[in-house]
Structure 1
Amino acid sequence: MTTNETLTDHDRIEAVLGALSDAWNDNDADAYGALFTEDASYVTFFGQVSRGRTAIVDGHRWLFARMPGSRMTHGATADREIRFLTSDTAVVVGQGPGTIVPGRESATDRISTVGFVVVRTDAGWRFAHFQNTRLQAPPA
């Protein structure tokens, strides 16, 4: 097991991506929102934009109440890239199945490309921006 002293920033970003999935899977809107900066922006699967941690928490509290037991896979791991823009800012882009809702075995019909801007804060790495876009074939 890697100790905190030997974790790289890449490892720490991987950990915050995992914590995001864990908070979703616990249906814990407060823990989910705590992983975002106070002024974060959040673009949903449906294109709605939440601005600020409070709006992100409120939106997820509403969502978790309507989808209890939904599951998020860890961090869109397919083709995931963590690219550092500066020592304190990274962009993460990856693909993965959408959230699995109760009564369904998988979400392979809901594959999304997700993007994050992750920044180093006094509390550790936090998400300053998130966007979730359903993967679709281009129009003919």
Structure 2
Amino acid sequence: MSENPQITGLLTRLAEAWNAGDATAYAALFTEDADYISFDGAHSQGREAIESSHRWLFEGPLKGSTMSTTDGGVKVKPLADGAVLVISGGGTAVAGRQRDSIVSFTAVRTPQGWRFASFQNTRVAS
């Protein structure tokens, strides 16, 4: 497994969209039919659902929250031509309280560039 500048760039854009509270930009980094599983097991299906749920979060309980990426690197494992598994640490801070996670994505190459086709967030036990 190795780092991949295109994938780390995609992760950076994901954090930038989160930190801006921009649900549209956040969801645009996912495929139209992406599966998104949050830390509590909630399952959103499709870019539209990801955008809608994040708009609610960014305007409500996660307003002003920030996302950080891992300092320990991002692992990228090729699965097939144009598809990789991505495993990364990171987390979000809400009202000064950090919540660390390990996240996994399936990223796929699309005509618009790399996009996430799946996401799974697992909270790190404190």
- The answer, yes or no, to whether TM exceeds 0.5 is yes
List per-residue Cα deviations over 1:55-100 (Å, max 9, x = no partner): 00000000001122110003x343531111123000011222x211
Q: Normalization by structure 1: what TM-score?
A: 0.82
Q: Normalization by structure 2: what TM-score?
A: 0.90
CA RMSD of aligned residues (A): 1.6
| Alpha-carbon separation, structure 2, partners of 1:77 and 1:122 | 30
| Alpha-carbon separation, structure 1, partners of 2:43 and 2:72 | 25
Counterpart mapping for 1:1-140 below 5 A = 10-66=4-60, 67-74=62-69, 76-78=70-72, 80-96=74-90, 98-102=91-95, 104=96, 107=98, 110-136=99-125
| Alpha-carbon shift at residue 114 of structure 1 (Å) | 0.3
| Alpha-carbon separation, structure 2, partners of 1:36 and 1:61 | 15
Report which of the two has the higher share of strand: 2
Kept in 1, the 8 Å contact 2:85–2:107? The answer is yes
List per-residue Cα deviations over 1:88-128 (Å, max 9, x = no partner): 000011222x21113x1x51xx2211000000000000000
- Aligned-pair identity (%): 46
Show the counterpart of 1:4.
Answer: none
Structure 1: unaligned runs, 5 residues or longer: 1-8
* Higher Cα radius of gyration: 1
SS at structure 1 position matched to 2:59: helix
Structure 2: unaligned runs, 5 residues or longer: none
